[in-house]
Structure 1
Amino acid sequence: MKTKILFTHNTAMWYRLPFFKKISENNDLSLVFTHMDVIRDTYDKNVENNIKGLEGVNYSILQNIHGFARGLISKALHRYDVTIGGSWDTPQELVETIFLFIITKIKREPFIIWREDWDWEKENTTKEKILNVIIKFLCKHANAILVPGSLHKEYFNNALNVPEEKIHIMPNVSNIHGNADLSKKEHSTLKILYVGRLIERKGVNYLLDAYNNLELENIELIIVGSGPEEENLKKQVQKESIENVTFTGKINNDKLEEYYNESNLVVIPSINKGMGDPWVFVLNEAMYYYNPIIATNMVGAAPDMVKDNGIIVNEKDSPALTYAMNKILSNDTLRNKMSLKSKEIIEKEFQYCNMVDSFNDAVKKVKNN
């Protein structure tokens, strides 16, 4: 008999759809999207009621009233083998999570929390302290915690006192992939690539500083993305006379392959701006296309994905970024070795089968306890 699962999630991010599709094949899945506006507000994407990629999946999109997902409680009151959810990004989502938790406890059904938090520096405010107490209680009494990486597991274990055996690493996976071609990196200009939103937390101004101090010939920095910091970054380039910098603006996902295939190095210079970067799927995408990686310690995926295929540097450290870029770009043998290693890591450890296997293990464990 299939496991009956209520899976609540805020929105239908494109990289999650294959995962939802796959787990629906072997489970009696009721998938509920509670805050679909997140994808529109964050990525300027609109999602229709008929979501391409979720054909055959039993899903529903809840309307929001004053920030609350209408109908969530009535769905939660039905009988399930396992309920999965958990969010505290907004006060409304926190309240919803508390209600889900209470309902599952009343029904004596397992509750699994899926989160991407890790121990970035937070403001020591009264609000933050109260939130932390609530989160600790929820996590301590949940039946299991799903997290994407080792940094996240360490946070839930050490900072939130969740027993290690209750924490399951379910690696994040991206579905942006296609014809990876290592030969397309062979050109006279060494191309450094940044892909992402242009907001303060992404630290692109530090990347520009670092790039400006590189003493290499025939290099180019390509910045793919858009956002509120775009004009400030362009002014920085102009003011400091930084040469060979290209701003492409926003590029559709199906067009990114060209940039990833032709780049020689991908840099993720994130900083802590109220929060670190929970994961950064650009790492998954860049590594699939044979790219060496430089990431800061504010990138949640870095400890698990940046090994012998790149370098991790401290946030806001432009000289360290310069050194790392120079080390990789000036050494063809090292760069090629890192390129192959990136592809090896992504193919072995960060596929949807890895994600689904971890999910199934967690569900099986809480059902048997």
Structure 2
Amino acid sequence: MSCHENSVTTVDLLMLPLGAAQLGGAERSIAELAIQLRRSGKQILMLVDRALEPTPYGQMLASEAIPVVWVDWHPDRGYLANIREAWRVFRKYRAPLIHFNMGWRKKLWLMPLVAKLANPQARLIATARGLPDSHHKLPRSYYFGFIPSLRLWLWRDRFNGWVWGRLLTRAVSVNRDDTPKRLPADYYFPAQRIHVIQNGLPKRNVPFSAAEKQALRTCADLPDDALFILYAGRLTEDKGVDVLLQALSTLPAHYHLVLIGEGDKKPLLQALAIQLGLDVRSHFLGFQPNPRDWMAACDIVAVPSVDDEGLARVVLEALGERACIVATDITGIAEIYDNNVQGLLIPPKDASALAAALRRLGEDAALRQQFANAAGILFDQKYVVERVRDQYLALYAEVLSESKNGS
């Protein structure tokens, strides 16, 4: 990192996990990538949304000697206030490469626009870790019952995507089956600038011991004979936790569900659990700092999401912990692993299918172990974070080479 006389700080790479309302998988993924890049010798500076300041995010980065600058960007601030903050940041902090998390929150498109105006020579890259709902899946209203509405509210998202497409040298999709198709179709994004680099995660160096697993079972107050099903994630409508509770209510009494995470639907889900007679078999433990430990300790990880994902981090985490997985067959999950090889895939919003899958695995410990072993092999082959780092380093080198050649 170098500082010029006019207090401009120059690094190899600026990384911006902006647009986060809370600390989630997208923010963790870019931080883990930054850590790997830092260890490979890159000078990194993180420009981080101040909304993440109360979380452990800054400490996570500081522990790897990655400096953090908190940015006062917010969608509820005025356009001029956000532009001023962006101009201040991008005039003071410079790099030949600026790497964003591509976001769709209101006014976020101002950040790459100002970045390019303040640093015309910089090359902009963004990782698309998720898109708004597919336009063709959204309901359409009609005037007088038969005249299709213009759906003008879609044009804000389309404008956002169009701005990103005009400014970015490359866009990286974390999935191969959805974003590379929808960015051009829905947002007029140049298809030739889209690359696919699936997410990766750090590999656990020391196996989780039997004693540690038992300690978590005890923490969750599970009976000794409990079949331990884990849900790890937000307790929101799109995650399908209500379907999981309905499935659990049809299973034998020794099937227990541990839920780690918070969300706006938590009170309703707790009430549903009581209504279904699951108050003893459902264990709402709230936020847990190390969800992968719980995955290593459980018998089955359930991922009942009902809406498409970017690339479901919780599934990658489960693979990395050699857990047995049941997940819904949706975009962002189905491409991660093969049905009946590393786990089971079932239709979304289908409590009967989910219950049948859980029962099948619950009754067959050998099958659970078979899937878990295959999951670990797949993770080692495809989803370790070092693979992701190497692919980004190659992409950065390609972009900088084009810059030097004037293309």
The TM-score by the shorter chain falls in which range?
0.7 to 0.9
1:57 aligns with 2:66: yes
Q: Which residue of 2 aligns with 1:207?
A: 244
Q: Which residue of 1 aligns with 2:401?
A: 368
Q: Could you tell me how far 1:299 is from its partner in structure 2?
A: 6.0
Q: Quick check: 2:13–2:44 contact (8 Å CA) kept in 1?
A: yes
Alignment partners' CA distance in 2, 1:39 and 1:358: 29
Match of 1:295 in 2: 327
User: What letter matches 1:242 in structure 2?
Assistant: L
1:37-52 counterparts in 2 under 5 A? 37-38=51-52, 45=55
Query: Once the two structures are superposed, what CA deviation does each residue of 1:91-138 show, in whole Å capped at 9, x if it has no partner?
Result: 23122233234555xx24322122212474354631222421441353
Change in Cα spacing, 1:358 to 1:161, as seen in structure 2 (3 Å) is farther
| Alpha-carbon distance between aligned partners in 1 of 2:47 and 2:122, rounded to the nearest angstrom | 18
CA 5–223 in structure 1, closer or farther in 2 if over 3 Å, else same:
closer
CA distance in 1, matches of 2:166, 2:200: 27
Residue 329 in structure 1 maps to residue 362 in structure 2? yes
* Bigger-Rg structure (1/2): 2
CA distance in 1, matches of 2:89, 2:367: 54
Pairwise CA distance, 1:353: 0.5
Q: Which residue of 1 aligns with 2:87?
A: 73
Check conservation: 2:104, 2:160, Cα contact below 8 A: no
1:181–1:120 Cα change, 3 Å: farther
2:108 partner SS? helix
Please point out which of 108, 120, 124 is paired with 1:111: 124
Displacement of 1:37 in angstroms is 0.5
Change (3 A) 1:86 1:194: closer
Is the Cα contact below 8 Å between 1:195 and 1:282 reproduced in 2?
A: yes
**Does the 8 Å contact 1:190/1:329 carry over to 2?**
yes
Question: What is the identity, as a one-letter code, of the residue corresponding to 1:287?
Answer: L
- Would the alpha carbon gap of residues 169 and 146 (structure 1) be closer, same or farther in structure 2, given more than 3 Å must change? same
Q: Give 1:112's aligned amino acid.
A: I
User: Secondary structure at 1:139's aligned position in 2?
Assistant: helix
Provide the rounded CA distance (Å) in 1 between the counterparts of 2:289 and 2:60: 17
Cα 1:236–1:59 shift into 2, 3 Å: closer
User: Does the CA-based 8 Å contact 2:311-2:332 persist in structure 1?
Assistant: yes
Decide whether the 8 Å contact of 1:113 with 1:145 is kept in 2: yes
Q: Which residue of 2 aligns with 1:84?
A: 99
SS in 2 for 1:126: coil
TM-superposed CA distance for 1:209, in Å, is 1.0
**Structure 1 segment 332-347 matched on structure 2, within 5 A:** 332-347=365-380
Q: Which runs of 5+ in 2 are unaligned?
A: 1-9, 141-150, 218-223, 403-407
**Distance between the aligned counterparts of 2:292 and 2:336, measured in 1?**
23
Tell me, in whole angstroms, the C-alpha distance in 1 between the residues paired with 2:246 and 2:129. 30
Amino acid at match of 1:114: T
- 1:158 positional shift: 4.9
Structure 1 246/355 Cα, relative in aligned 2: closer, same or farther at 3 Å?
same
Amino acid at match of 2:45: S
Kept in 1, the 8 Å contact 2:259–2:286? The answer is no
Match among 274, 298, 306 for residue 271 of structure 1: 306
1:90 partner letter: R
Tell me what 2:197 maps to: 170
Identity %, equivalent residues: 14
SS of 2:65's equivalent in the other structure is: coil
**Aligned residue identity for 1:62:** V
TM-score where L is the length of structure 2: 0.75
Q: Which residue number in structure 1 is paired with residue 171 of structure 2? A: 145
Q: Is the 8 A contact 2:123 2:399 kept in 1?
A: yes
CA displacement 1:332-354 (0-9 Å, x = unmatched): 33222111111112222222211
Instruction: Name the structure 1 match of 2:284.
Output: 248
Long gaps (5+) in structure 1: none
2: CA distance, partners of 1:86 / 1:195: 23
Asked if structure 2 preserves the Cα contact closer than 8 Å seen for 1:168 and 1:358, the reply is no
Deviation at 1:176, TM superposition (A): 8.4
Measured in 2, the distance between the counterparts of 1:193 and 1:258 equals: 11
How big is the shift at 1:235? 1.7
The count of residues paired between Structure 1 and Structure 2 equals 356
Displacement after TM superposition at 1:266 (Å): 0.7
Pick from 26, 36, 51: which aligns with 2:41?
Answer: 26
Judge conservation of contact 1:270–1:296 (CA < 8 Å) in 2: yes
Give 1:175 shift.
4.8
Report if aligned partners of 2:14, 2:46 keep a CA contact under 8 Å in 1. yes
Please report how far the alpha carbon of residue 29 of structure 1 lies from its aligned counterpart in structure 2 after TM superposition. Answer: 2.9
Query: How far apart, in 2, do the equivalents of 1:236 and 1:181 lie?
Result: 34
Contact map agreement 2:104 2:157 (CA 8 A) in 1: no
Seen in structure 2, the aligned counterparts of structure 1 residues 209 and 265 have a Cα distance that, compared at 3 Å, is same
Distance, in Å, in 2 between the alignment partners of 1:70 and 1:344 is: 49
Give the equivalent residue in structure 2 for 1:284. 316
Are the aligned partners of 1:14 and 1:175 in contact in 2 as well (CA < 8 Å)? no
What is the CA-CA distance between 1:194 and the residue it aligns to? 0.6
The letter for the 1-side match of 2:65 is: G
1: distance between equivalents of 2:73 and 2:190? 35
RMSD: 3.4
Letter in 2 for 1:283: V
